[in-house]
Amino acid sequence: MAEFTDYIAGLGEPEKSAVERIHQRALSRLEGVGEGLGYGMPALTYRGKTLLSVQVAKSHIAYYPFSGAVVEALEGDLANFDHSKGTIRFSVDHPLPDDLVDRLIDLRRAEIDLKPGK
């Protein structure tokens, strides 16, 4: 199944491009990225664990890193974005910078890699 790819294909512009940008960054940074579901949302997976999801809502786009520790580690970099323990909200007009997306992906990957036996 290609849950995340199918989700992106069903989006309209300009949100589609915003979500696809994050999707492509993850694919370019990691080998072995798959697709699946995380908390019922189409998501990217890595080593069988949920890596991230990006979902379009009525008034924003939400990035789900599936890790409160990742959000906490980047708290200072997220000051200009509405966020909580498990969600970072942005918009097409105020996107997450590429370097921040890369760090979100890298931190979550490192977290997954550190889990023994997984």
| Number of structural domains found in the chain | 1
Backbone torsions φ then ψ of 48, nearest 5 degrees: 80, 0
pTM of the model: 0.94
Angle between helices 15-29 and 98-114 (to 10 degrees): 50
CATH code of 24's domain: 3.90.1150.200
Q: Which tops the pLDDT comparison, 22 or 2?
A: 22
Residue 1's pLDDT is 54
Residue 118's pLDDT is 44
pLDDT tens digits, one per residue of 13-45:
999 999 999 999 999 999 999 999 999 999 999
Residue 20's pLDDT is 97
Provide the domain limits for residue 53: 3-114
